[in-house]
Chains A and B, each alone.
Chain A
Amino acid sequence: MNAKGKVLKFGDNVDTDVIIPARYLNVSSGEELAKYCMIDIDPDFTKKANTGDIIVALKNFGCGSSREHAPLAIKCAGISCVIATTFARIFYRNAINIGLPILECDEAANDIENGNEVSIDFDSGIITNHTKKRTYQGQPFPPFIKEIMAAGGLVEQTKEKIKG
């Protein structure tokens, strides 16, 4: 599994209230939520983001509310991966559960700049910055989580289990 795209860069503590404010939580469709993705931190985000683009942020990305609408809005806005120094824990498991690839890598999070072209190999955790011609070693998922991602998320994995 791989991702490649242009980077949209953010700082520390990007919270779920700015990723998708509560005023839009009266709907649950990912396509609808995607229209307002990141609106309170960058009102032009959806105009700038193209399918396959990558969000890079610093520490504690996705802190705050447990709203799964946040990773869902990001995924449905076409973002192929989020790289950060660290993720808030509920966002981290929500992203895995819905099949939004995320990767922790302090070096990449700090070195990659807005607009850089970046690709990611999820199996090895290697992040390549094509603009700066550098690579960074991110932390690949443990096998347990790779299985969830490979199944297409926790729902798909559970479906198989329930079918037996």
Chain B
Amino acid sequence: MGMTMTQKILANHAGLDTVVPGQLIQAKLDIVMGNDITTAVALNEFKKTGATEVFDTEKVVIVLDHFTPNKDIKAAEQCKSCRTFAYDMKVKNFFDVGKAGIEHALLPEQGIVVPGQVIIGADSHTCTYGALGAFSTGIGSTDMAIGMATGECWFKVPSAIKFNIVGKKPPHVSGKDVILHIIGKIGVDGALYRSMEFTGEGIQELTMDDRFTIANMAIEAGAKNGIFPIDDACIAYAKEHSQKPFDSYEADADAAYDEEITIDLSSLQPTVSFPHLPDNTRTIDNVGDVKIDQVVIGSCTNGRIDDMAIAADILRGKKVAEHVRTIIIPATQEIYLECIRRGYVTDFIEAGAIFSMPTCGPCLGGHMGILAAGERCVSTTNRNFVGRMGHVESEVYLASPAVAAASAIAGKIADPRKIGGNAE
């Protein structure tokens, strides 16, 4: 029996010829990553192991992005402990305010992650790098600590669901709509413990930024990882951003899958996840009249340049509704600069939005856009759990940058195809 793409990468990193679903393995790690919240816990666990240095100063990555710039004194203390640890351990890939961006946009952009790697990150959205054809998964602080000390991690080899992507993507439908549609179809535990392997000719319709968005939200279906083929677009991206050599993997022709699901892009519409679970999806023609107080465009899910371009095209020359606080957050400093170069920052500010420095802030209810009781936010982020962005009685509606920008203008959840824009 053949292996899935994920199984082949894991087998290779475990020094095995073959692995089977359910097998417990010890795999060598190419990258171990953490942020200010999770590294603060991990460094204590690291010290408890008795280790005095990290396994590889190039392969450990620490990004201060969640509660930064420091939101309060306790957050400042946490960041300080991460900073001291990074300096003491001579961590080469340490990103503090000024260099930092949202980790899952930053690592691919900086060429730190490349195809074929095994990557663990103490952040659930680490599955994002599957867009590059890597095995990449979220873990906790203790796994990060042990990963930093030993360069290894234990895994249970996952089985997989194969998503066969076909058809052409209609205007104003993006990677976000694809993944929200999938999560709505299979549920928040529809891929629990398993891989989501994306394949099919429809992949060619998806930009790398679309793929990052889709892989990013694999965790919202419970998946261990999401993974895309290492095709020409992927190789071009990796070579543009990184000097690192990389291995190509592909699933065996006779690989076994638990299920195969076909997604026809041409049938998709802009899609919104209603409170309080990402699988509570509705297509835009079924959203009804939902008045909103805030819009957030950004995050590790949708803070990339394609996302900024979509938002700018819709907001340019228009005004956001009087009662809608519109917060736009580029995910990295490089994306920020590109928004300046392309004139998007002017478009956003003239439309009545604010344009912030890179931070995870509002997505997890940290800072920079917390919601009060009864408030509603359309957000391009990834979770709409109870209290996720603030008060337990606030509501988060997950959507694409196009829907979010259109909604900011309309003052209620709106169809970007009706508001218009120059994009498509």
Question: Using a CB–CB distance below 8 Å, which chain A residues touch chain B?
Answer: 13, 15, 17-18, 21-23, 25-28, 40-41, 59-60, 63-69, 71-72, 86, 88-90, 93-94, 97-98, 142, 144-145, 153-155, 158-159, 161-163
Chain A positions within 8 Å of B142 at CB level: 68, 94, 97-98, 153-155
Task: Report the Cα distance A28→B46, complex, angstroms.
Answer: 14
Chain B 370-404 interface residues, beta-carbon cutoff 8 Å to A: 383, 385-388, 392
Q: Does B146 contact A (CB under 8 A)?
A: yes
Having A17-B364, A21-B365, A88-B222, one finds 15 other A-B pairs with CB under 8 Å, namely A18-B387, A21-B387, A59-B189, A60-B189, A64-B124, A65-B364, A66-B121, A68-B38, A86-B189, A97-B143, A98-B140, A155-B146, A159-B48, A159-B49, A162-B49
User: Within the complex, which residue of B51, B72, B188 is in contact with A26, where a contact is CB–CB below 8 Å?
Assistant: B72
Q: Could you tell me which residues of chain B, from 34 to 89, have a CB within 8 Å of some CB in chain A?
A: 37-38, 40-41, 44-45, 48-51, 66-67, 71-72, 74-75, 78
Contact of B385 among A18, A93, A145, A155 (CB under 8 A): A18
Please measure, in the bound complex, the distance between the C-alpha atom of A22 and the C-alpha atom of B124, giving whole angstroms: 14
Please give the residue numbers on chain B whose beta carbons come within 8 Å of chain A beta carbons, in ascending order. Answer: 24, 37-38, 40-41, 44-45, 48-51, 66-67, 71-72, 74-75, 78, 121-124, 126, 138-143, 145-146, 149-150, 154, 188-189, 192-193, 219, 222, 224, 277, 364-366, 383, 385-388, 392
* Cβ A68 vs Cβ B124 within 8 A: no
Contacts of B219 in A (CB 8 A): 90
Contact A26 B67, CB 8 Å, known A15-B385, A159-B50: yes
Question: Known contacts A60-B188, A63-B189, A89-B224: does B140 contact A155 (CB below 8 Å)?
Answer: no
Task: Identify which of A40, A65, A86, A98 contacts B192 (C-beta below 8 A).
Answer: A86
Could you tell me the distance in whole angstroms from the C-beta of A33 to the nearest C-beta in chain B? 10
Q: How far is the CB of A88 from chain B (nearest CB, A)?
A: 6
Question: Contacts A60-B192, A86-B192 hold; do A155 and B387 have CB atoms under 8 A apart?
Answer: no
Bound-state Cα–Cα, A123 to B294, Å: 51
**Count of inter-chain pairs, beta carbons less than 8 A:** 136
Q: Roughly how many angstroms separate A163 CA and B74 CA in the complex, as a whole number?
A: 34
For residue B122, which residues in chain A have a CB less than 8 angstroms away from its CB?
A: 66, 68
> By CB atoms of chain A within 10 A, which of B38, B41, B224 has the most?
B41
Contact: B149 with A158, CB < 8 Å? Answer: yes
| Nearest CB of chain B from residue A101's CB, rounded to whole Å | 15
A60 touches B222 (CB 8 A): yes
In the complex, the 5 A-B pairs of residues with the closest C-beta atoms, listed nearest first: A26-B74, A94-B140, A68-B140, A97-B142, A60-B189
A136–chain B nearest beta-carbon distance, Å = 21
Query: Within 8 Å CB of B139, what residues of A?
Result: 66, 90, 93-94
Residue of B nearest to A43 (CB): B392
Q: Which residues of B contact A59 (CB under 8 A)?
A: 189
**Would you give 27 A-B contacts (Cβ < 8 Å), ordered by A?**
A13-B188, A13-B189, A22-B365, A25-B66, A26-B72, A28-B44, A59-B189, A60-B188, A63-B188, A63-B189, A66-B38, A66-B138, A67-B37, A68-B41, A68-B141, A86-B189, A89-B224, A90-B219, A93-B143, A94-B143, A154-B146, A155-B48, A155-B145, A158-B146, A159-B48, A159-B49, A161-B150
A90 vs B50: C-alpha distance when bound (angstroms) = 25
- CB of A134, distance to nearest CB on chain B (Å): 26
